[in-house]
């Protein structure tokens, strides 16, 4: 049997493929951080780390948070972002219920004092799976004080809305990742993984937080593209992190045992150009190898 391989030139959205080794050289999630910082997929707390932002929730203004999160288990209530401080102040929190709640593993949003005005917090319609990437979009409308939640995971989306109807208006603490404040300002944090997060206040982007590493000292934190500040751990211990997000890096591929760059990829001694004619609106980004039986 004569098995023959030939190059199949394909059009992809992203990435180079050559000789059966697949690598992505540019990622649409890349934030193009300033020199000296490396973007990572997410930060993971061990339970004693948190990051304080300069963003304040204001119940009189529209407020929206869009992000990604992974909940490792349902053992404890886990805060994604929050600012709870005392019973008499307007508080905001996105979190997961724990086994001490009636809804372990359920996404939860509350806007109220700790005493909870009527309808001031709401759990999702069903529990979200643990160790699963969840994309969320939490949108608070200050005019009617209705919050709308959208949770996407495993290819499906769950949405729900609720009326916050809170009378608390005073906010004295900025929002924190991994932690909300307690009356003693010490807070409670439990392990959770948080990815890129955007915050909008009065429909204006006020925070675009990118999990990142400072290359000079290998410290992990959140780089805020809006303020240009690198926010580091305010607690004890250190964050762990996800994989590095590739940003326009040049990679070396291997084809038929020969190392090459994408622009030099050849097969059988014949040069294969990196930019052949493509249909309008498409970009050629790589090669695939196809095995056929003639």
The CATH number given to whatever domain includes residue 196 is 2.60.120.200
Longest CA span, the chain: 80
Q: Which of 225, 241, 257 is the C-terminal boundary of a domain?
A: 241
Q: Would you say residue 264 lies in a domain?
A: yes
For residue 258, what pLDDT is reported? 54
Q: Would you say residue 34 lies in a domain?
A: no
Q: Would you say residue 82 lies in a domain?
A: yes
Q: Are residues 43 and 128 in the same domain?
A: yes
Q: Are residues 64 and 196 in the same domain?
A: yes
Token code pair at residue 115: 């005493």
Q: Are residues 146 and 274 in the same domain?
A: no
Does residue 41 come out as left (phi exceeding 0), alpha (psi in the -120 to 50 range) or beta?
A: alpha
Q: Which domain holds residue 268?
A: 4-26+249-292
Residue 263 sits at φ, ψ, to 5 deg, of: -75, -10
Q: Are residues 137 and 253 in the same domain?
A: no
- Rounded CA separation 39/195 (Å): 10
Q: Are residues 60 and 122 in the same domain?
A: yes
Residue matched to tokens 């019973």: 87
Q: Are residues 221 and 160 in the same domain?
A: yes
Q: Which of 221, 241, 261 is the C-terminal boundary of a domain?
A: 241
- Rounded CA separation 253/105 (Å): 42
Task: List the pLDDT tens digit at each of the 294 positions of the chain.
Answer: 433 333 333 323 333 333 333 333 233 478 889 989 999 999 998 878 899 999 988 888 899 999 999 988 888 788 899 886 655 566 788 888 877 777 888 888 877 654 444 446 688 888 898 999 999 999 999 898 888 999 999 999 999 888 876 655 656 678 999 886 653 344 556 789 999 999 999 999 999 999 999 999 999 999 999 999 999 998 888 999 999 988 755 444 454 555 555 444 444 555 555 544 444 555 445 555 554 444
Q: Would you say residue 33 lies in a domain?
A: no
Instruction: Tell which residue, 108, 22, 80, 86, has the closest CA to residue 209.
Output: 80
Token code pair at residue 7: 């190059």
Q: Are residues 181 and 258 in the same domain?
A: no
Q: Would you say residue 31 lies in a domain?
A: no
Q: Are residues 220 and 93 in the same domain?
A: yes
Q: Are residues 261 and 226 in the same domain?
A: no
Q: Are residues 17 and 154 in the same domain?
A: no
Q: Are residues 60 and 103 in the same domain?
A: yes
Q: How far is CA 184 from the centre of its chain?
A: 30
What total number of domains does the chain contain? 2
Q: Are residues 43 and 139 in the same domain?
A: yes
Q: Would you say residue 32 lies in a domain?
A: no
């Amino acid at each position: 049997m004569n098995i023959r391989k030939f190059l199949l030139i394909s059009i992809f959205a992203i990435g180079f493929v050559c000789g059966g080794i697949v690598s992505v050289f540019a990622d649409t999630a890349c934030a193009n951080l300033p020199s000296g910082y490396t973007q990572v997929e997410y930060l993971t707390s061990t339970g004693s780390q948190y990051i304080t932002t300069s963003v304040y929730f204001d119940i009189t203004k529209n407020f929206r948070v869009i992000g990604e999160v992974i909940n490792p288990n349902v053992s404890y209530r886990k805060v994604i972002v929050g600012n709870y401080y005392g019973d008499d102040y307007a508080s905001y929190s996105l979190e997961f219920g724990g086994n001490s709640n009636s809804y372990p593993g359920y996404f939860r949003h509350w806007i109220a004092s700790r005493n909870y005005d009527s309808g001031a917090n709401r759990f999702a319609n069903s529990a979200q799976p643990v160790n699963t990437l969840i994309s969320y979009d939490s949108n608070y409308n200050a005019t009617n004080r209705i919050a709308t939640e959208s949770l996407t995971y495993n290819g499906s989306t769950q949405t729900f809305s609720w009326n916050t109807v809170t009378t608390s208006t005073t906010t004295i603490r900025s929002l924190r990742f991994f932690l909300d404040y307690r009356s003693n300002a010490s807070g409670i944090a439990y392990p959770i993984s948080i990815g890129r997060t955007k915050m909008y206040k009065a429909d204006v982007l006020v925070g675009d937080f990118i999990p990142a590493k400072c290359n000079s000292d290998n410290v992990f934190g959140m780089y805020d593209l809006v303020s240009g500040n690198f926010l580091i751990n305010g607690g004890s211990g250190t964050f762990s992190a996800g994989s590095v997000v590739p940003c326009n890096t040049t990679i070396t591929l291997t084809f038929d045992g020969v190392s090459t760059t994408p622009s030099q990829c050849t097969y059988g001694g014949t040069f294969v150009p990196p930019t052949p004619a493509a249909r309008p609106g498409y970009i050629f980004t790589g090669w695939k190898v196809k095995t056929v039986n003639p």
